[in-house]
Amino acid sequence: MSKLSVTKDGDAGRPESAPSGLVVMDNVNKHFGALHVLQDIDLTIERGEVVVVIGPSGSGKSTLCRTINRLETIDSGYIAIDGKPLPQEGKELAKLRADVGMVFQSFNLFAHKTVLENVTLGQLKVRKTDKKAADEQARRLLDRVGVANQADKYPAQLSGGQQQRVAIARALAMDPKVMLFDEPTSALDPEMINEVLEVMQQLAREGMTMVVVTHEMGFARSAANRVVFMADGKIVEEATPDQFFSNPRSERAKDFLSKILHH
Ligand SMILES: Nc1ncnc2c1ncn2[C@@H]1O[C@H](COP(=O)(O)OP(=O)(O)O)[C@@H](O)[C@H]1O
Ligand SMILES: [Mg+2]
């Protein structure tokens, strides 16, 4: 990958020979005040690839996800989705955000809207789909994540696992090019974790490009093409799940794995 001069985000930081890859982060830096939260991040995610991001709390995983759909700005470097640099604002940014589906730890469903309305909202507002088509697609997606019979209920009437599956359906409704999951099962009761992971496994099998921050090492082993290990704002290690779990190279990764695998 070509080296870049440090510039504000946007076109200016674009490498001369733009690398392929559905998501490209090139030499990305971000600070929160004195904290250098993302340090020289280079990460390319290919179409159809499933990348699991792991690392200790506070290492910058959520911030990394949030820069990919520009919920957070960056100080320098370059981020592109499908060859297009992240726009700064306005219509273009809204369009790009719609290409990047995001699922958070807290489901963020609208409490006063039904499940069906939660899923159709983005299509009606951003995609300007007509209501009948939006409803049909939403029902198909709710069926796909296994909650078709909950369509007319309100979020509070659903279990956490069901709500998170609705959140996944809502993200899919925008027909995203890539899905970001930030600890999607961390807020769930243990018995509901698998129903959400199974939906994610299915998406992975269907070829969805996915970035998944998770502590679910079983998911990482079975679904990931690549594990990215972050610590202190840096990507410390990248490897296949097999390599990473059986033979981590860095002391930081060894230490982290010993803590999460033996508790
Ligand atoms: N909006 C913010 N303002 C200031 N500091 C932040 C903000 N968001 C995150 N941080 C800090 O940045 C660091 C990385 O946070 P985060 O990306 O959430 O890490 P992770 O998801 O790996 O736990 C943490 O030290 C956190 O306190
Ligand atoms: Mg986080």
Task: Convert the pLDDT of each residue in 154-196 to its tens digit.
Answer: 999 999 999 999 999 999 999 999 999 999 999 999 999 999 9
What six digits make up the tokens of 34?
Answer: 């004195």
How far, in Å, from the CA of 64 to the mean position of ligand 1?
10
For residue 7, the model assigns a pLDDT of: 41
How far, in Å, from the CA of 60 to the mean position of ligand 1?
6
For residue 127, the model assigns a pLDDT of: 75
User: Looking at the CA of 38, which ligand is closest?
Assistant: 1
For residue 4, the model assigns a pLDDT of: 41
Nearest CA-CA partner of 28 in 17, 36, 19: 36
How far, in Å, from the CA of 104 to the mean position of ligand 2?
9
Task: Convert the pLDDT of each residue in 189-202 to its tens digit.
Answer: 999 999 999 999 99
What six digits make up the tokens of 189?
Answer: 């009761």
For a ligand 1 pocket test, name from 29, 31, 35 the mutation site with the most ligand atoms within 8 angstroms of its C-beta.
35
Is the model's pLDDT at 230 over the cut of 90?
Answer: yes
For residue 92, the model assigns a pLDDT of: 80
Is the model's pLDDT at 248 over the cut of 50?
Answer: yes
- Give the chain's end-to-end CA distance (angstroms, integer): 39
Q: Residues enclosing ligand 1, CB less than 6 A?
A: 32, 35, 37, 55, 57-63
For residue 94, the model assigns a pLDDT of: 80
**Contact of 152 with 179, CB cutoff 8 Å:** no
For residue 97, the model assigns a pLDDT of: 81
For residue 16, the model assigns a pLDDT of: 56
For residue 39, the model assigns a pLDDT of: 98
d(CA 243, CA 259): 18
Q: Give the dihedral sign, CA 105/253/178/33.
A: positive
Which region among 104-108, 135-139, 234-238 has the lowest average model confidence (pLDDT)?
104-108
Averaged pLDDT of the chain: 91
Minimum-distance ligand 1 atom for the alpha carbon of 57: 23
For a ligand 1 pocket test, name from 29, 62, 72, 230 the mutation site with the most ligand atoms within 8 angstroms of its C-beta.
62
Q: Strand pairing of 76-81 and 23-32?
A: antiparallel
d(CA 109, CA 107): 6
Residue appearing with tokens 């005040």: 33
Percent of the chain whose predicted confidence (pLDDT) is above 70: 92
Q: Strand pairing of 209-213 and 50-54?
A: parallel
Nearest CA-CA partner of 212 in 183, 177, 173, 253: 183
How far, in Å, from the CA of 246 to the mean position of ligand 1?
29
**Contact of 27 with 40, CB cutoff 8 Å:** yes
Minimum-distance ligand 1 atom for the alpha carbon of 63: 17
Minimum-distance ligand 1 atom for the alpha carbon of 60: 17
Alpha carbons within 13 A on the beta-carbon side of 7: 13
d(CA 205, CA 192): 21
User: Looking at the CA of 54, which ligand is closest?
Assistant: 1
3-state secondary structure of 25: strand
Task: Convert the pLDDT of each residue in 9-53 to its tens digit.
Answer: 444 455 555 557 999 999 999 999 999 999 999 999 999 999 999
**Contact of 28 with 92, CB cutoff 8 Å:** no
d(CA 77, CA 193): 36
Element (H, E) at 41: strand 35-45
How far, in Å, from the CA of 233 to the mean position of ligand 1?
10
Ligand 1, atom 6, lies closest to the CA of: 32
Beta bridge partner(s), residue 54: 229
User: Looking at the CA of 56, which ligand is closest?
Assistant: 1
How far, in Å, from the CA of 60 to the mean position of ligand 2?
7
According to DSSP, residue 127 is labeled I
DSSP 75-126: SEEEEEETTEEPP-SHHHHHHHHHHEEEE-SS----TTS-HHHHHHHHIIII
- As to burial, measured by CB atoms within 10 angstroms (0-12 exposed, 13-18 middle, 19+ buried), residue 28 is buried
